[in-house]
Structure 1
Amino acid sequence: MHNDIEFRSVTKNYGAVTAVSDVDLQVPKGAFLALLGPSGCGKTTCLRMIGGFEQPTSGTVLISGREMNGIAPYRRPVNMVFQHYALFPHLNVEQNVGYGLKQMRPRIEASEIARKVALALEMVRLGGFAQRRVHELSGGQQQRVALARAIVNKPAVLLLDEPLAALDRKLRTAMQIELQTLQRELGITFVLVTHDQEEALSMADLVCVMNTGSIRQLGTPQEVYDRPTDLFVADFVGKTNRVTAMLEADGRTLRLADGSALNVGERRGLAAGDAILAIRPEAIRVDRHAKPGATGFQGTVTNRIFLGSTAEYSVAVPGLGDFLITSDRRNLHESELVEPGQTVFLGFDPTTAHLFPVSSTA
């Protein structure tokens, strides 16, 4: 299977500022890739270089095996859905979707344009909306019109620049499902730019985490969440509790700031010295008392946030700081819920927690 998108040592400078630095990236045909990272990490610049709105300072961008450097956006097998949809308010839905087809040369017959537009509207479940005006549509419907306009000429790659940012939470969730379904039906490569890690993990089958112009990790959502390559990825993708410590020379004993020690199992490739233990909130169990042989910390509940099916606790541990814990309430009896002010034991398996050198925080 060939790659639909490929970056070969791509760098993009804006004057003295480097937005993207020596990036290598391969996106397989038919993948749903999420470019994820904080503002200024380079993800939107990468998207714009794929679309042709920016040209790399050095390196090569390829689409479907063809070099794209210097090729204008309208000559690329790519379409883009912008954050604010960029629909024409004076045109109806049918005219918005067919606009690009009318600009194509050689000209396409009006009957063929009408057929393609009708098919695209059916795909985004707007079959009866052809004559509606843009101002008559909800936010979700406008977003689907923008999608229909983007897919009507069947591009090899569809670029999505934070297309759900303007929607409310419930509609955003519904549109995430619709985008996944549409991507499977079309079989074309989707590239989504987002700073929302939940959106990236729930929609994409490939997640590219970026920071300061570089790729920090590329993998499936499960790999990026369960096996982050460094502390930046662990922090950015999901929530994590940090414990500052010292890994001793035996490579398995971790000495904590409060003087206690944990056996974290053999950690290959990690040198002795300052380290940070990263523990996911859902990997910690809150108990009223320590169970025999359990590993963990004792602390005081400072806050509880009710989230429906889950509850989040903030627990202060002397000498180590505050811990965030997520408990699934469906697995708890009402008697097991704890209140602020109560003393609890935080139990976890130190051999499954992530351990990183301090240098991986950048």
Structure 2
Amino acid sequence: MTSASTNDIEFRSVAKRYGSVTAVSDINFAVPKGAFMALLGPSGCGKTTCLRMIGGFEQPSEGTVYISGEAMNGVAAYRRPVNMVFQQYALFPHLDVEQNVSYGLRQMRPRISGAEISRRAQEALEMVRLGGFGKRRIHEMSGGQQQRVALARAIVNKPKVLLLDEPLAALDKKLRTAMQIELQTLQRDLGITFVLVTHDQEEALSMSDFVCVMNAGRIVQVGPPQDIYDRPASLFVADFVGKTNRIAATVDTGGASVVFADGTRVAAPVATTPSAGAAMVALRPEAISLKRNGAAGTAALSGIVTHRIFLGSSVEYSVDVDGLGDFLVTADRRALGDGDLVEPGDRVGLAFDPNALHVFPA
């Protein structure tokens, strides 16, 4: 773990209990200054509890939370150099946009002059591309614009850390994608540490510098998005982050090969040396090549296409593989012509590089 002086946030052996219920246990991680960290996991995994302990809305039952090297246990939320953007934005409907953005500045002591408050509010609105919208009422703003108002309100007093509690959940897919780009741009421009809570894997992978995957109140893997996706530390991570096919298998003595339940034998992936015995193999849908008529290929399997889902830029196939059950296969349409699309009922071959396999103990 890096030293506190290089981190804006640090958790050391943190636990949080509510009576007999343990929400999080033995949490240790650090967020470097100016980084974008995503806390990712299913509902109830403890990610929001961690966010609330950073913000001061909850206090640890054990361990210590540090912000910029200073212990925050017992420090009230309003005394922390942190601001939070809530999922529902929590904007004041009776105030206009500028009044919403400047609300926190007006509560500061010693007081700031009205001219300075207005200047800083306008500056914050410019940062989120809402210059000239200061006198609009909240109900006159679209969902995406309201989200940016909430961001402007959160950054106007220049916090060291900005907390984002699923702020894009209420937006439609196209607007959500646009706001992901805007958040990344804003974070780079401001140089503020962002911590995002989300259960959306695509959102976490596309926006963050680091992803902290949680399950059942514990951290299961922390790392850059590409590491989380390409080198999952456990079957849970492989299953939760993105799509994957699970294959029951056995690793032979010495770990040189993996034998699927149907008897197919493939070389063990070079990156790992799995232990001999029962195993579960994870294989990403995009790592599989689909060939007509059971065409041969490295580690080829054979099956019948049961469903085809056309997604525009790609096509997803569900294939009932002989002796192994359903497989999901994703084909990039850039490598396909319309005549290459396979119909349900066709027999196909599946080929993959054995090094694309992730092997875990059963």
TM-score, normalised by the number of residues in structure 1: 0.97
CA deviation profile, 1:6-38 (whole Å, cap 9, x unmatched): 000000011111111011010000000000000
Partner of 1:80: 84
- Stretches of structure 1 that go unaligned for 5 or more consecutive residues are none
- The alignment status of 1:141 with 2:145, answered yes or no, reads yes
Partner of 1:131: 135
Partner of 2:35: 31
- The alignment status of 1:12 with 2:26, answered yes or no, reads no
Partner of 2:195: 191
CA distance in 2, matches of 1:113, 1:106: 13
- The alignment status of 1:311 with 2:307, answered yes or no, reads no
Kept in 1, the 8 Å contact 2:255–2:273? The answer is: no
Identity, in percent, stands at: 70
- The alignment status of 1:105 with 2:127, answered yes or no, reads no
* Gap change, CA 1:162 and 1:105, over 3 Å in 2: same
Kept in 2, the 8 Å contact 1:140–1:167? The answer is: yes
Partner of 2:53: 49
Partner of 2:69: 65
CA distance in 1, matches of 2:270, 2:134: 63
Pick aligned residue for 1:264 from 263, 268, 275: 268
> Runs (4+) of structure 1 moved beyond 6 Å?
none
What's the RMSD between the two structures over aligned residues? 1.2
CA distance in 1, matches of 2:141, 2:356: 49
Kept in 2, the 8 Å contact 1:98–1:113? The answer is: yes
Partner of 1:280: 284
Partner of 1:349: 353
Kept in 2, the 8 Å contact 1:36–1:197? The answer is: yes
Q: Secondary structure at the match of 1:21?
A: strand
CA distance in 2, matches of 1:241, 1:136: 46
Question: How far off its partner does 1:287 sit?
Answer: 0.3
| Residues paired across the two proteins, number | 358
CA deviation profile, 1:193-217 (whole Å, cap 9, x unmatched): 0000000011111111000111111
The code of the aligned residue for 2:11 comes to F
CA distance in 1, matches of 2:271, 2:346: 35
CA distance in 2, matches of 1:267, 1:87: 50
The code of the aligned residue for 2:344 comes to P
CA deviation profile, 1:341-362 (whole Å, cap 9, x unmatched): 000000001133111112xxxx
Q: Secondary structure at the match of 2:233?
A: coil
The code of the aligned residue for 1:233 comes to V
Question: How far off its partner does 1:260 sit?
Answer: 2.6
* Gap change, CA 1:169 and 1:292, over 3 Å in 2: closer
CA distance in 2, matches of 1:103, 1:266: 59
TM-score, normalised by the number of residues in structure 2: 0.97
- Stretches of structure 2 that go unaligned for 5 or more consecutive residues are none
CA distance in 2, matches of 1:135, 1:293: 59
The code of the aligned residue for 2:229 comes to Y
CA distance in 2, matches of 1:283, 1:162: 30
CA distance in 2, matches of 1:202, 1:188: 18
